[in-house]
Amino acid sequence: MTLISRSPVRISFGGGGTDLASYYEKYGGVVVSAAINKYFYTILEIRLDDRIQLISSDLQVHQTVRDFYDLKLGKGLDIPVAVLKHFNVQRGLNLFMASEIPPGTGLGSSGAVTVNIINIINELEKLKLTKQEMAELAYKIEFHDLGMPIGKQDEYASAFGGINFIQFGKDGSVEVEPIKIPKEVKVRLESDVMLFFTGRTRESSMILKSQDNSTRDDKGEVIESLHAIKELAFKVKKAIESGDLIEFGGLLDEAWQSKKKLAAGITNPKIDRAYQLAKDNGAVGGKLTGAGGGGYMMLYCERSHQNAVTKALVNEGLSPLDFHFDKKGTSIIN
């Protein structure tokens, strides 16, 4: 038997940083997030023996063990190992993992990886987990079991798909509200949001740890910036619902100015120069999609200015990425 699962990565329109436990457990967090049609894939094949073979195309690592009891953390494949151990999957299998987006690019790939493997085990074992349960379990495995310094939005964005307003309660509860967008506005939003790859970041964990520590220590500038980012997320939701996309673009710019205050390393001279060039050539506003330090730059730019912006950023060494919004979230595709 062979199963194939895919789960989307995401872009965050607002509220990023308020989904860290150090913030939402004190103040509650909100995020406006959109899943896009760049997917993480997992292929699972049942074996006739007890051996387990894990292969990651993106990381170019593999692990083959005699049986379930020989699975080890610390070999570069901690997420699939942790998921298999959580579900106590004691049968032979091959698990092949590959993504359309490389890891470490600010699009929530680790959350998509974890959700996707949970989804395929959910199908294999006929567990009937809901998307809410899969998202919460993915976060638990990454944050609690593996100690990854992550927020909580990526798992929910990947599990549910669509464009959502996600609220994180002080008690850890999560409410996912699909944003109601008129069709013509959604078409414009999809057309006018642009993504450019600035370069892979290896600093995201350090940036998130620094931000997390500052939040736990109640450092004034960081807390004030996160409060501002949270308020902007409500305004982003309202702008999208009303179809005021120029306002939406301006809010992205405001959020970026606040985000840069959260930790050292979020931006650098290359990113600052590229962002200013984009604005000089007609982009209304934008931000980096992940923790910072690299990854993808998201811009709101009306179509009449997109050629000029693309030319300017390509000349700076950035690469454009075409995308559409994903509607389904995590799914079995065979």
Active-site annotation, residues: 154
Euclidean distance between CA atoms 300 and 190, whole angstroms: 10
DSSP designation for 141: I
State how beta strands 93-99 and 52-56 pair.
Answer: parallel
DSSP designation for 91: S
DSSP designation for 54: E
**Count of alpha carbons within 13 angstroms of residue 55, beta-carbon side:** 10
Euclidean distance between CA atoms 22 and 312, whole angstroms: 39
Contact criterion met (CB below 8 Å) for 232 and 254: yes
180-183 contact pairs (CB < 8 A, 24+): 180/241, 181/240, 181/241, 182/243
Of 300, 281, 74, nearest to 185 by C-alpha is 300
Euclidean distance between CA atoms 90 and 303, whole angstroms: 53
Beta bridge partners of 177: 165
Amino acid in position 212? D
Burial of 305 (0-12, 13-18, 19+ CB in 10 A): middle
